[in-house]
Amino acid sequence: MNLTVIKNAVQYRFNTFIDTKSRERNLVYKRAIYYKLAKEFTKEPLHAIGQEVNKDHATVIHGLKTFDNIIDNFWEKDYFNIYLDLKKHIKNKITLEMKQRDPNNYYKNKYRVKLLQNRKLYSYTKECIDMLERMGNKYHSSLKNKLNLIANDKNENYNDKRES
């Protein structure tokens, strides 16, 4: 994510330019929201964040303090709710960019927990079948074959459901 995208999102949401030279309270709060979002979503230094809106790093520090002290869920609820909406919007934009850039990695991260759970379930099922074999169960070989078919993705019923 870059600073220009964040700046444009804030400007679009408020329908105003935040890089104009003004000390109006509303504009200061809007810039504070931009500073907070830029600090959260980029690794840019404060100087670069401020340079995007024609401010220096000290103004960015002051804007971040303004955000933490004034724009919160208690004092300026409207601005805080707009900040939360913008944050959600930018997160969605980041995930879409990641999905388009590297879809395999995106889905791998998205379903990582489910994959780990499936691995544990597979290991547990395999242990249960091995215990059945040690106990002399006559169905252990067919159960083991079915488990291997599912694990190797060669089960015809599963493939038919996935393709349709």
Number of domains in the chain: 2
* 136 three-class SS: coil
Residue 26 sits in the same domain as residue 79: yes
What's 58's domain CATH number?
1.10.1750.10
Residue 45 sits in the same domain as residue 90: yes
Q: Express as a percent the part of the chain with pLDDT over 70.
A: 92
pLDDT at residue number 161? 52
pLDDT at residue number 154? 55
pLDDT at residue number 164? 46
Give CA–CA dist 113/70, Å, rounded. Answer: 38
Give CA–CA dist 146/87, Å, rounded. Answer: 47
Q: How many residues does the chain have?
A: 164
Alpha helices in the chain (DSSP H): 3-14, 25-41, 46-51, 57-69, 77-101, 103-110, 112-134, 140-151, 156-163
Which residue range(s) make up the domain with 159?
A: 111-163
Judge residue 84's burial from the number of C-beta atoms within 10 Å of its C-beta, 0-12 exposed, 13-18 middle, 19 or more buried: exposed
Question: pLDDT tens-digit profile of 81-111?
Answer: 999 999 999 998 888 887 788 888 777 777 8
Q: What is the mean pLDDT of residues 1-7?
A: 88
